[in-house]
Amino acid sequence: MATIKDVAKHAEVSTSTVSHVLNKTRYVSENITGRVMSAVEALHYAPSALARSLKIKNTRTLGMLVTTSVNPFFAEVVKGVERRCYEQGYNLLLCNTEGDLKRLNFNIDMLLQKQVDGLLLLSDEIAGQNLNIFARHKPVPTVVMDFAETSFPCDKIQNNSRHGGYLATRHLINNGHTKIGCISGPRNKPTAARRFDGYMQAMQEAGLEINEQWHAFGNFECEGGKLAFEQVLAAGAMPTALFVCNDMMAMGVISSAHKHGISVPEDLSIIGYDDIKLAEFITPPLTTIHQPKFNLGCIAFDTLLDKIKTQRENDLHIQLQPKLVVRSSVRSLNT
């Protein structure tokens, strides 16, 4: 089996140059890079990641936690992270927590034991837990995405959920709706709470009646949206519009409304949140609040890499702005 020394000899360069070419750790001219890559080809050289990490004391591996890969929101963020990992020569270990705190702790422990160079956390089960994820391990650079309450040092990248909730509700009001309800996400999730606050702010500013029978809480999944909608339905008189705090729940609401003979948007207008890829392709195409998911993943990776490389001491707090995407699930009541 060929070794790095064989490659260096074949390409007539030093072993450290071979290493820089393969790991993209320093600029190497096109000519020399070409010679090294031809030698790698000719000798069928396969570098050992383990030997490499033992030598240079980093693994070029990142750990990432997401709540659930079933929701395309998370998959679209992961896509951005993976793209940047590929471009920068990093590996990604991806774990789902599925809302289970025990599983979250297990995964963090496992990732830190594997000596990942950094962590990306997109799993807001951590929120409100006062959890010190580094209690038993040496801290590694960490970026928390989508929520901000943590009790350990980390960079944070967040969508302005309160503003998103406000934008969504304003859109319904601008279209002449006055009877507006809200299907929020889980009560303990900061993003859900902020979106609900944004809804309340827009309702209060417009002087509209807030009817608690039109408020329900789902679990950010299709099924939860359906159940929450059925709760609103069972309570009696319906609103003319609902702000549903994520697209997965909005799809559950639309499907349940259809089964109950309620047509969207003729009888009931719906606005979602996230702008997952599917939102455009359901019937009717969903009006929603766009979160820059792919960019969130790219920015999170870049922020983490910057911390790993520069070892900067301060923590960053980056806020991304939501945007309204108008499709066909909101009816205008303006004459």
Query: Residue 199 interacts with ligand RIB (CB under 6 A)?
Result: no
Smaller CB distance to ligand RIB: residue 66 or 119? 66
Query: Closest separation between CB of residue 218 and ligand RIB, Å?
Result: 11
Smaller CB distance to ligand RIB: residue 28 or 168? 168
Smaller CB distance to ligand RIB: residue 47 or 72? 72
- Return the residue of 220, 229, 243, 301 that touches ligand RIB, per CB under 6 A: 220
Residues in the chain: 335
Smaller CB distance to ligand RIB: residue 148 or 208? 148
49-88 binders of ligand RIB (CB under 6 A): 71, 73
Say whether 126 sits in a helix, a strand or coil.
Answer: helix
Q: How far apart are CA 171 and CA 290, in angstroms?
A: 13
Q: Tell me if 242 sits within 8 A of 269, measured CB to CB.
A: yes
Could you give the C-alpha distances from 194 to 3, 160, 199, 283, in angstroms and in order?
A: 55, 8, 9, 28
Query: Closest separation between CB of residue 54 and ligand RIB, Å?
Result: 38
Q: Where are the alpha helices (DSSP H) in the chain?
A: 4-11, 15-23, 30-43, 49-56, 72-88, 101-113, 161-174, 190-205, 222-234, 247-259, 293-310
**One character per residue 259-288, x = contact with ligand RIB (rule: CB under 6 A):** --------------xx--------------
Q: Which of 334, 190, 187, 191 is nearest to 269 (CA)?
A: 334
**One character per residue 141-170, x = contact with ligand RIB (rule: CB under 6 A):** -----x------------------------
Residues that bind ligand RIB (CB under 6 A): 71, 73, 124, 146, 191, 220, 246, 248, 273-274
